[in-house]
Amino acid sequence: MARLSTGVTCARCKVLDKLETDCVRRLDAAQARLNSFRLEPPYSEQTASELQSHQRAVEYWRAALDKAKRERSAHLETHAMTLSS
């Protein structure tokens, strides 16, 4: 968890920590579903659709995690600016 130099966390830090943790958990689950997906002939349209759905889920949660990390970094910068003032 991100902590200020005083050892205190603000409410926004806690929200961003939870968001990032949730994204990691969901990305791991999506990646596990994709990795466990078995393509077996004959390849039907439904099979291809399922595979694409798993791939989109991984891409979505990867992007969500990247966004959460960017938001968290930007927020931590506000703490750095506040503490350095």
Q: List, in sequence order, the alpha helices (H) in 1-85.
A: 11-36, 45-84
What does the alpha-carbon distance between residue 27 and residue 43 come to, in Å, rounded to a whole number?
26
pLDDT digit string (tens) for 36-68?
988 777 778 888 899 999 999 999 999 999 999
Mean pLDDT of 29-42: 88
pTM for this predicted structure: 0.78
- 2 — pLDDT class (breaks 50, 70, 90): very low
Q: Is the pLDDT of residue 4 over 50?
A: no
Structure tokens at 5: 């130099």
Query: How many CA atoms does the CB half-sphere of 1 hold within 13 Å?
Result: 12
